[in-house]
Amino acid sequence: MTSNTTRRGALKTLAAGGGAAATLPLWARYTHAQSAEPIRIGFQVHRTGIGAAYGRWYDRTTQAAATLINEAGGINGRPVEIVAEDDGTDPRRGAEVVEKFANQHNCDIGFGTLFSHVVMGSAPRAGELQLPYFVVSEGHHVASGALNRWTLQPGITDVKSQVMSMAPWVLGNLGKKVTMVFPDYAFGHDHRDFFSAAVEANGGEIVGLVPIPPTETSFTRYFPQIPRETEVLYHVMVGPAVLTFVKELGEFFGPSAPAIFGFIDSLEAVALDSPGLDFLNDTYFWEGMPRYAQADQSEYDAFYREKVGVDDTGSSVSDPSDVSTYAHMFGCWETLYVIKDAMEAAGYSGPQDRQLLVEAVEAMTEFPQSREHPQGPKRFNGKTHQVFGQQYISRVNDGRLDVVHTTSIEDTMYPDEVDYTTTSF
């Protein structure tokens, strides 16, 4: 029953009925533990560097999900152990962390990387080591075919799908002439390239592009590059200086600002009632998962908030000044549950089954909204190793974010650019 041939055959049922391993025979989804050793998940976390705020909340979310998984019996009867290593939000250090997971910590997989330049620096080493590498990044690098069969992004959508799905609403409601302000590295370049294409496809025009180094701490000198004819200012910024960026943006424009649409990255871990942010009222943001509990809040969102320790405003229940990275961190929770389902589907028992694990994920298709997937329903493309899901546009209204538009999953889909299942391991 645990032969590779039999287990591979069982994976086909995932594609037919959805991603949940509960549809599989008992032996395939929860085998008798053959070892008392834990499943070791190497958690590549940005504890320091420009991604530190995300890293702190990725850690809290990961630990909360791992606790729940262990309380429910672990994976294949084995406890989950999170082995965390700080990569400093640095590509070179990221590759070193991946190597430590494989060669020092004896991890079964690598998991959790966010910043796209770190993914690009780390994924090739994971491929060389044949270590399944689950990223929670949003970059288009996985689905573009730029990486390898060992690298997957099954818990969070990518920038291309996000901007494609929202461009029609932005152009239809805010204006046609757009200037983009974005970080000058891979993640920002994804925004620049894919939103520019989406604007043109929907009858709009990019009138200005303003790239900013991701380590910049003052931004006023960049804003004069914004053309006067701008009708919509599109901004996405990351790192510890995001509050400074948004404040200086308001100071520069005053009451004469164009319509403003931003990615919540520019305000992740920042309270909306921070001094100097009044000008954001009646502006709009993309959110991967709404920070503020909405009037139609699902039971799954409520459960997730409780377990991670986040209140209805997106702040820590133990410290209201500690604002979460709510639009992104759900990806860690959902990815861990994908890993759990795939390991149980593959009858995973150790590193010799890593290839089977990747094939199990590739066989998945649908993730219904649930406690395991609280952000919303998703569709996984095994060929491109990328998941697709709903996106949210929220309006700043009297110090909170209220959702005004939710895209469909179909809005986020685009033609395949790669088929990893035809590439070798």
Q: Is 5 exposed, middle or buried (0-12, 13-18, 19+ CB in 10 A)?
A: exposed
Residue 255 banded pLDDT, cuts 50, 70, 90: confident
Residue 65 tokens read as 């999900």
- In this prediction, residues 76-99 reach a mean pLDDT of 97
Same domain, 249 and 398: yes
Residue 7: the pLDDT is 54
Element (H, E) at 195: helix 186-201
Residue 318 lies inside a defined structural domain of this protein: no
Q: How many residues does the chain have?
A: 425
Distance CA(308)–CA(299), nearest Å, equals 14
- In this prediction, residues 53-57 reach a mean pLDDT of 96
> Is the pLDDT confidence value at 23 over 90?
no
Please tell me the pTM assigned to this model.
0.91
Residue 2: the pLDDT is 41
Side chain identity at 391, as an amino acid letter? Q
Same domain, 131 and 276: no
Query: Dihedral through CA 336, CA 342, CA 346, CA 351, nearest 10?
Result: -40
Residue 31: the pLDDT is 44
Same domain, 23 and 59: yes
Taking the CA atoms of 95, 325, 322 and 257 in sequence, report the sign of the dihedral they define. positive
Element (H, E) at 248: helix 242-253
- In this prediction, residues 17-35 reach a mean pLDDT of 47
- Residue pLDDT, tens place only, 187-219: 899 999 999 999 999 999 999 999 999 889 999
User: Which positions ≥6 away from 36 have C-beta within 8 Å?
Assistant: 78
Same domain, 107 and 179: no
**Helix %, strand %, coil % of the chain (to 5):** 40, 20, 40
Q: Are 394 and 151 in contact (CB under 8 A)?
A: no
Same domain, 142 and 209: no
Residue 271: the pLDDT is 93
Q: Are 330 and 391 in contact (CB under 8 A)?
A: no
Same domain, 20 and 87: yes
> Is the pLDDT confidence value at 62 over 80?
yes
Distance CA(311)–CA(394), nearest Å, equals 18
Distance CA(164)–CA(201), nearest Å, equals 9
**Bigger pLDDT: 399 or 78?**
78
Residue 21: the pLDDT is 46
Residue 124 lies inside a defined structural domain of this protein: yes
Same domain, 364 and 259: no
**Bigger pLDDT: 186 or 272?**
272
Residue 100: the pLDDT is 98
Structural domains of the chain, count: 2
Average pLDDT, the chain: 92
Domain that residue 205 falls in: 159-297+393-405
**Bigger pLDDT: 77 or 24?**
77
DSSP 39: E
Residue 307 lies inside a defined structural domain of this protein: no
Phi/psi of residue 142, nearest 5 degrees: -70, -60
Residue 321 lies inside a defined structural domain of this protein: no
Side chain identity at 424, as an amino acid letter? S
- In this prediction, residues 325-336 reach a mean pLDDT of 98
Distance of CA 324 to the CA centre of its chain: 14
Distance CA(411)–CA(392), nearest Å, equals 12
Residue 239: the pLDDT is 79
Residue 215: the pLDDT is 84
Residue 41 banded pLDDT, cuts 50, 70, 90: very high
Least confident of 30-44, 196-210, 384-398: 30-44
Return the SS3 of 98.
helix
Q: Are 196 and 210 in contact (CB under 8 A)?
A: no
Residue 11: the pLDDT is 59
**Bigger pLDDT: 343 or 16?**
343
Residue 13 banded pLDDT, cuts 50, 70, 90: low
Residue 370 lies inside a defined structural domain of this protein: yes
> Is the pLDDT confidence value at 115 over 80?
yes
Same domain, 139 and 207: no
- Identify which of 269, 266, 276 has the alpha carbon closest to the alpha carbon of residue 319: 269
366 forms beta bridges with 379
- In this prediction, residues 3-22 reach a mean pLDDT of 50
> Is the pLDDT confidence value at 18 over 50?
no
Residue 27 banded pLDDT, cuts 50, 70, 90: very low
User: Which positions ≥6 away from 208 have C-beta within 8 Å?
Assistant: 178, 179, 180, 225, 226, 227, 230
Same domain, 232 and 350: no
Same domain, 340 and 231: no
Same domain, 273 and 356: no
> Is the pLDDT confidence value at 15 over 80?
no
Residue 128 tokens read as 């060389």
